[in-house]
Amino acid sequence: PAALPRAVNLSGTPFRVSSASCSRLHLLRPCPDPDLPNCFHCPWECQLIHNPARILPSCGSPKNRPDPEQGCQADVISYLDSLLLRFGFEIEWDEDPNDAYFPSCRRCQASGGVCGFDSSDPDNPFLCFRRESAISPPWIRRHSPNLVISAIFVVVTLVALIAVAALKFRSLKRKLADELSEDPTTLFLRRQRSASLLPPVFTYDDLELATGKFDSRRKIGDGGFGSVYRAQLSDGRVVAVKRLHRQSSDSAAVDTYFTKSFCNEILILSSIEHPHMVKLHGYCSDPRGLLLVYDYVPNGTLADHLHSQRRSTLDQTLTWQVRLEIAIQVATAIEYLHFSVKPPVVHRDITSSNIFVESDMRVKVGDFGLSRLMSGPGPAGSGPGVVVTGPQGTPGYLDPDYHNCFRLTEKSDVYSFGVVLMELITGKRAVDERRERREAALADLVVVRIQMGRLREVVDPGLVSGGEVVDGVGAVAELAFRCVAADKDDRPDMAEVAAELRRISGRSCASRHSCSDFDVAA
């Protein structure tokens, strides 16, 4: 969605905001202890959170302050975005007492006429069109038989139209009754996109059977949004089924959040296709659970290969050449989202846990539940391609500029990818509380070492040969350093990042005097 403007000022115009629209804004308020942006850098957003009616100055201040906790909004900015930019607001105006049209029109209507004007005259003078009286014997005597026939034709036509309208109304009523009985999530998806463009719908019973009633022994992943199970469909296909967590009835706001994430992932994944992104094969919206059906990627996640307890058994496969090609594949997938999809998509959760590894060590990016479409210009002074929204993502990967000012851009994905590059170089976790507090975040740890010229201290021992870091690691570290720059304007875009990684890979191939098929596949 488009970002919020500074304010909508109707002063100097004949219009004013309706009292109903003002009342809705006056009732809008943040929940106690709202999550505010950095008010020094983002004063306008802070003002809106405290007083949403500032966006329509003509509304003034409310006469009665509502209960601060009753019906409050956790994310006022996103609510204003939806309320104003999607549904708009109502305006009113008064008749001009100096305009002769209005009193003339009232007199015309009082005498049974219809108001109009002569469009053939440049001055458009007022005209009152007089209606004929209803059909009666005197009227019939005054006009020719042809007019009588015409009148009968009109009456018959009107009766036919009324009959057709009645049939349409009955059909619409039946359709509405069917929609009301249909799952609201599925109904929302079909209103957003044609059913032919959406992935297939599975029944809950079919997916429950395919996962062995969600047998814990088939669980291949678990996260904040849901658990992932290995499943075999009735046609023999092996897929991954993600079962989103459903909340209890007293957590309606959280439940709505998960449903929104569910719909968001379906709408985005059904509109994109890339060899290094997971494919969505279908979904199920059922009161018993929200389910998504993906490609089954059998070799775990990049985080498993870098950080799991079985890391020692994987060291031989996770060579520098493999790591570099993984980086290139992920970079090209994000570049596709930012430059080939219209409007662009920001993933918002690029992490090593959301990069899935095939049996041949090729990778696919997944988990699009937090993704956002970047449509419309940004707010005044923020530049194009900016969405103002509450920060969401994974600690350690979250862009600090987005976290502080609530301004989401494609450069937020660049920051997250820079952290993934640092994981590939160091083999360390993005956040590790066992490290010193100032170095708990991997970005802080690596940036300081690069600035001090001591990168070798944090490089994964598997990337050191003969006491020296293997060729290409330093160049990728410098690229990661640029990706996590504090100022988003100092970061490269993903097209530059992907191109630079290809250049580094090309130089690495040349230094080895050969390139494997895997080296050139990405």
Per annotation, catalytic residue among 81, 349, 367, 399: 349
Strand ranges for 251-393 from DSSP E: 280-286, 289-295, 345-346, 355-357, 363-365, 372-373, 387-388
The tokens describing 21, both together, are 């629209």
- Name residues whose C-beta falls within 8 Å of residue 165's C-beta, 6 or more positions apart in sequence: none
- Cα 138 vs. chain centroid, distance in angstroms? 68
Instruction: Report CA dihedral (466, 471, 472, 474) to the nearest 10 degrees.
Output: 50
- Name residues whose C-beta falls within 8 Å of residue 233's C-beta, 6 or more positions apart in sequence: 206, 210, 239
End-to-end CA distance of the chain: 33
Q: How far is CA 306 from CA 117, 134, 275, 318, 455, in A?
A: 78, 87, 23, 8, 18
The answer to whether residues 325 and 522 touch, using CB atoms and an 8 Å cutoff, is yes
Q: Is 488 annotated as a binding residue?
A: no
- Cα 96 vs. chain centroid, distance in angstroms? 45
Residues paired with residue 201 on neighbouring β-strands, in sequence order: 283
- Cα 299 vs. chain centroid, distance in angstroms? 29
Amino acid of residue 321? Q
Catalytic (active site) residue 349: yes
CA distance 399 to 421: 15
| Closest by Cα among 480, 247, 457, 455 to 350 | 480
| Closest by Cα among 362, 364, 300, 355 to 520 | 362
| Closest by Cα among 278, 251, 250, 249 to 266 | 278
The answer to whether residues 16 and 384 touch, using CB atoms and an 8 Å cutoff, is no
Phi, psi (rounded to 5 degrees) for 494: -70, -25
The answer to whether residues 210 and 229 touch, using CB atoms and an 8 Å cutoff, is no
- Name residues whose C-beta falls within 8 Å of residue 206's C-beta, 6 or more positions apart in sequence: 233, 234
Query: Quick count: other Cβ atoms within 10 Å of Cβ 459?
Result: 19
User: Catalytic amino acids?
Assistant: 349
Residues contributing to the annotated binding site for ATP? 242
